Structures are given as structure tokens and as C-alpha cells.
Amino acid sequence: MLKIVRSCRVPVLVLAALASTALARPVAAQTSLQPANWDSGMTLRLPEDLNPDPRILEINMEARLAEVEVEPGLRVKAWTYDGGLPGPLIRAKVGDRLIVHFTNRLQEPTTIHWHGVRVPIEMDGVPGISQDEVKQGESFTYDFELRDAGLYWYHPHVMSAAQVGFGLYGALQVDDPDDGVGVADSLTLVLSDIGFDKRGDLEPADSGGPAGMVFGREGQHVLVNGRRKPVLTVRSGAPQRWRIVNTAKSRFFLIDMDGQPITTIGTDGGLQERPTTEGTVLVTSGERVDVIVTPTGTPGSTLIVRAMLYNRGYGSVQYRDVEELFTIKFTNEPTLPKKPLPTIARTLTPVPAAGATRVPVVLTLPPQGPDGKSEFRVNGVPFWEAKPFLAKLGEVQLWEINNDTDWDHPFHLHGFFFMALDEKDQPIRPMAWKDTINIPMKTKARILIDFNERPGEWMFHCHILDHAEGGLMGTVQVGPPSGKSHTHRTGGE
């Protein structure tokens, strides 16, 4: 049992300071063990920094249509940030300020939501709650501090199943130079998928009707950093750090490197308590993982990194194949001898669960009505009929989420990290800060949230974005309502 009493809670800033000193440990300067241009088949574009201040990253970004080549000769007319798929890799250091001058050159309204980032509510990108939609030709400036190291991502919050599926997403990486990980060779991997026909025209967002919504539409082309089956050239036995984000609107990735060990060191909100090593790692829609791998093979041979079958509901294993993600091509140099990795650990301090307000959350999918319509419900109602959940500023809540449907739901909360608890109210080990947690079909999850700051109306939803639009969405009003009238019931999700 956690024996910390409420009155002993340390202010967040102090905790953050403690956490970063706990992380700081001397790390020998790391030099790359990989050949030159080892990752040139899958590097992400970086935006141009317009601000001379080293602690401010200031960029311009445009949403616009562009024809993108995902494989030599295979082109799609995608919706893009700055003309590429995915959008630029926004990369800064923890504590930096990010300013994004965003312009919408699409015909539809849009916004940018900063998935997982503890932004002020006005920067959260939800139309009708935090800002107005950015219409064609209009601009909006996002400006906030990057308080937490970790891998995050950005995407629209207007017609999001359509817009994310059409290509609007990118990674936001917040580095902590003192994280002690000590692996010189690192990659950021944006996993996604996209559906289009022979002419390069996007598959309509409503394909398959209600059944498509219930399944969660997947594009037939799986992409790694916007490319189909790219190649990485590596030295056998050299450790690499992969920061992975799943930006697909529905697809899950169960990553396998031919059974070679994958060590997870972090998830959504940065490093976890301690590493765990397994043969595969699952990244559900919206989630991130931070892993260390040491691909090993005969010099000159290849190794395929795959997405294995994972059952997230009917149709996800029955009619699917294992997907090739990318190829690792070993150089002709001999395999490097194994070296132990540095001890990677982080002290995480959850708030005590004792005294938390219990909030039951039940997810259901009633049988199709006579009109053929299907809708997901949260506590008996779809989003368009829902009233906000309520939380007082400073209230700790324990959400007991019961997934009573035959589908998995990666449950995402805006604006706050949470921690998953077991049946006895104890944090699930190793502890990790999450903003998206998969709740497998017919199971329950329990998450502890400290609504300690930033009053406002924050969204939660399934990150299978078809499910979100199919009703599996809601908001929690933290602190008193602003009195602003809400128009999001009809528009944004």
C-alpha cells in the first residue's frame, strides 16, 4: 500500500526537478557504431527553426494536399503537413518552448492537437473547446512549453478519422540529454497505414459503412516513416534505440524482429520505472514505445521487422496477414561483441489511490438498430448525447473502465498523464506515465489521474478514430466551466 498521505504531496515542479536529478548520471560520450547513412532510407524531415534562441523552436507549418511517393512508382494524393508523409519531425529538448505558425491550405477546416503533451487548454486543438476550427486559408499559432521528455505526436482534431487516415500526422520528440540511456544510434519510427487505389486516390473515410466504423478502417499500405518496406543498413550486434509512435487511425502494430529480444525502456510519457525485455512489443493506435534492440545476424544477411497478427476484434486476424515493416540489412563487418547496457531507471511518484474518487466508465456497443446504424456508447450514451464528466481542480480520480464490447479500445485522455492500477489499487509494474492505454475486448482497466492543474474541458476517446467518431468519446470538465458555449457536439472529434 502506498503510505503517502494527501497532505504530503509534493508540488509537480518539485517532483519534476527530483525526477530529472534522479535521471542525471554520467554517461560516457557515445559514438555511432553504424555505417555512414545507415538510416538514410527512413530519415524524417526536420522543420526549419526560425528562432535564434536555442531554447525556442519556432516553425511554420502548412496543411496541404500533396502527391507523395510511398515506394518507388507508388504515389498517393495525400493530405499532408508541409507536403510530406508523415509531417516533419518536431524535435526539441525538455523545457524548450515550441511555437508553430500553422496555416490551413486544405479545403476542409482542421486544427492541430498535440497528443500527450501537457499543454494549456487553449493549445489543445479541439474545436469548440479550446479553439475555433482553422478554416481554409486561416492561420493559428500554437505556443507552449515542452515540459516532459518523451515521444509525442500531432494530428488534427476535426474529422480526425478521415484527416489522420489521409496523412495528417507527425512526431514530436522531446529529448532529455541527461536521460542516461547511452545508446548513440537512435531512430524515430512513425508507423501508419494509408488506403488508396491504383490512381492514387484516397479510400473514402466512410468505406464499408457501419461495419467499417465498428472494425476501424485500416489502409492497405503499411508505412514506416511514410515509406513502404524501407531498408536500414546496420552493423550486427550494435545496439539501437527506436522511438516508435503508432499514428495509424485503427491499426495496431505487434512488432517482431524475428524473435530477437526487444527491451522497452519507456512509453507515452518518457522512460518507465525500469526496462522489460520481450520477444515482441505491442503499440496500439496513439501509443508510443521507447525500445533498445541489438539486431544480430550473419554479416551480409537480412532480417525483417514485422507486424504480427494481433486480435483486436473480429476481422483483425481472420482476414489479415503478417505485415513486413522494414528490412535490416547487415553490413559485412563481423558481429560486435555483446556489451551490457547502462542501468536505465526512473523514479516515478504516483499520487496515492486511497481517497481517489471512483469513476465508473462502461464502454458498450449495442446491437445494430433496424436502421442499420451502430454506435459505441460511454456510460449508456454516444458522444453526441453525453454530458461532460466532472473533476474538481486538484481532485484525484480512479477511472474503472469496463470494456464490455468485442473490440479492443486504446483509450486516450487529453492533457494529463495517468497510471494504470491493478485490482488492489497498486500501480502496475514497471510504473509508466501513460496517455493512451489499450483495453482489450471484454476486460477492465483502472487508471489513476491527478487533475492537479490546467482547468478546462479535456477530451477522452478511443484512438481507433472510427470508434471515436462512432460515439466512443467524451470530455471531462476539470474545474469550473468557462461558460464558453460548446459547438463541438456536432463538429470536432
Q: What's the min distance (Å) between Cβ of 115 and ligand C2O?
A: 4
- Identified binder of ligand C2O from the candidate list 286, 295, 455, 456, rule CB under 6 A: 286
* Number of residues located near ligand C2O, criterion CB under 6 A: 10
- Identified binder of Cu ion from the candidate list 293, 431, 464, 476, rule CB under 5 A: 464
Residue 412: which of ligand C2O, Cu ion, none does it interact with, CB under 5 to 8 A by kind? Answer: ligand C2O
Residue 182 pairs with which residues in a beta bridge?
A: none
Length of the chain: 493
- Identified binder of Cu ion from the candidate list 129, 378, 462, 465, rule CB under 5 A: 462
Q: What's the min distance (Å) between Cβ of 434 and ligand C2O?
A: 13
What whole-number distance in Å separates Cα of residue 351 and Cα of residue 443?
24
Is 14 buried (19+), middle (13-18) or exposed (0-12) by CB count in 10 A? Answer: exposed
The answer to whether the peptide bond before residue 455 is cis (omega within 30 degrees of 0) is no
What whole-number distance in Å separates Cα of residue 230 and Cα of residue 329?
10
Of the candidates 143, 99, 151, the residue with the CA atom closest to the CA atom of residue 124: 143
Residue 101 pairs with which residues in a beta bridge?
A: 60, 141
Measured CA to CA in angstroms, residue 341 lies from 239, 264, 371, 405 at distances of 9, 13, 58, 41
What whole-number distance in Å separates Cα of residue 297 and Cα of residue 248?
30
Residue 467: which of ligand C2O, Cu ion, none does it interact with, CB under 5 to 8 A by kind? Answer: Cu ion
Question: What is the pattern of x (binds Cu ion, CB under 5 A) and - over residues 405-434?
Answer: ----x-------------------------
Q: What's the min distance (Å) between Cβ of 208 and Cu ion?
A: 16
Q: What's the min distance (Å) between Cβ of 412 and ligand C2O?
A: 5
- Decide: is 115 part of the binding site for ligand C2O (CB under 6 A): yes
- Find the DSSP H helices in 82-126: none
Residue 243: which of Cu ion, ligand C2O, none does it interact with, CB under 5 to 8 A by kind? Answer: none
Q: What's the min distance (Å) between Cβ of 100 and Cu ion?
A: 29
Residue 251: which of ligand C2O, Cu ion, none does it interact with, CB under 5 to 8 A by kind? Answer: none
What whole-number distance in Å separates Cα of residue 397 and Cα of residue 279?
34
Residue nearest ligand C2O by beta-carbon distance: 115
What whole-number distance in Å separates Cα of residue 121 and Cα of residue 131?
9
- What 8-state DSSP symbol labels residue 225? T
Q: What angle do CA 296, 301, 303 make, to 5 degrees?
A: 60
Q: What's the min distance (Å) between Cβ of 464 and Cu ion?
A: 4
Q: Which 151-170 positions form the footprint of ligand C2O (CB under 6 A)?
A: 155, 157
Part of the chain binding ligand C2O (CB under 6 A), chosen from 4-12, 335-343, 415-423, 456-464: 456-464
Pairing of β 170-175 and β 150-155: antiparallel
Pairing of β 262-267 and β 323-330: unpaired
- Decide: is 113 part of the binding site for ligand C2O (CB under 6 A): yes
Residue 414: which of Cu ion, ligand C2O, none does it interact with, CB under 5 to 8 A by kind? Answer: ligand C2O
- Radius of gyration over alpha carbons of the chain, in Å? 22
Q: What's the min distance (Å) between Cβ of 154 and ligand C2O?
A: 9
Pairing of β 302-308 and β 323-330: antiparallel
Residue 286: which of Cu ion, ligand C2O, none does it interact with, CB under 5 to 8 A by kind? Answer: ligand C2O
Pairing of β 139-145 and β 97-104: antiparallel
Give whichever of 146 and 293 is closer to ligand C2O, judged by the CB atom. Answer: 146
Q: Is residue 419 a contact partner of residue 452, using CB atoms and an 8 Å limit?
A: no
Part of the chain binding ligand C2O (CB under 6 A), chosen from 171-179, 357-365, 399-407, 455-463: 455-463
Part of the chain binding ligand C2O (CB under 6 A), chosen from 51-59, 333-341, 380-388, 458-466: 458-466
Where do contacts with Cu ion occur on this chain (CB under 5 A)?
A: 409, 462, 464, 467
Where do contacts with ligand C2O occur on this chain (CB under 6 A)?
A: 113, 115, 155, 157, 286, 412, 414, 459, 461, 463
